[in-house]
Amino acid sequence: MVAAVNNNNHLAAPQEQALLARGEELFIAGNYNAAWVSFNELIKINPNEYYYYYMRAACSGNQGLYQASLADLNKALSLAKTNEAKGFCHYDMAIIYVNMGDVNTAESHLITAAKLGNGLAQNICNEYGIPY
């Protein structure tokens, strides 16, 4: 999975900011279970922040918990406000579906991500001749 950088320049409470920094540090270090706990706590603090669901999905996906990852990616997608955020959600869904062996659904999400302007998805579509 690809972890997007938090571009949500909102002014969160210091506790939320500290927990976010900790979760991102743990994720980058590959400690996905502990990072999952941090993002789960962040969701309790602010259940309307797409990025927290997105990152919890990334933690689950990196542990092979694909159904949990998809549930969080769908929630993140429902909260995402920008095409960039939506594109990352669809791109990561494509990765999860590939890992689950569902290539058709993966391709559908890849194409959607590319249409939303996700450069990673566009590169893959271009490399494999997948029109979007």
Q: What is the pLDDT of residues 78-111, one digit of tens each?
A: 999 999 999 999 999 999 999 999 999 999 999 9
Q: Which two tokens stand for residue 59?
A: 């933690």
Percent of the chain with pLDDT over 70: 91
> Structural domain of residue 62, as residue ranges?
11-79
Instruction: Give the single-character DSSP code of 82.
Output: S
- Tell me, yes or no, whether 60 and 89 share the same domain: no
> 81-116 burial by CB neighbour count: b if 16+ within 10 A, else e?
eeeebbbbbbbbbbbbbeeeeeeeebbebbbbbbbb
- Give the Cα separation of 60 and 88 in Å (integer): 16
Whole-model pTM: value is: 0.90
Q: Is residue 68 part of a domain?
A: yes
Q: Is residue 6 part of a domain?
A: no
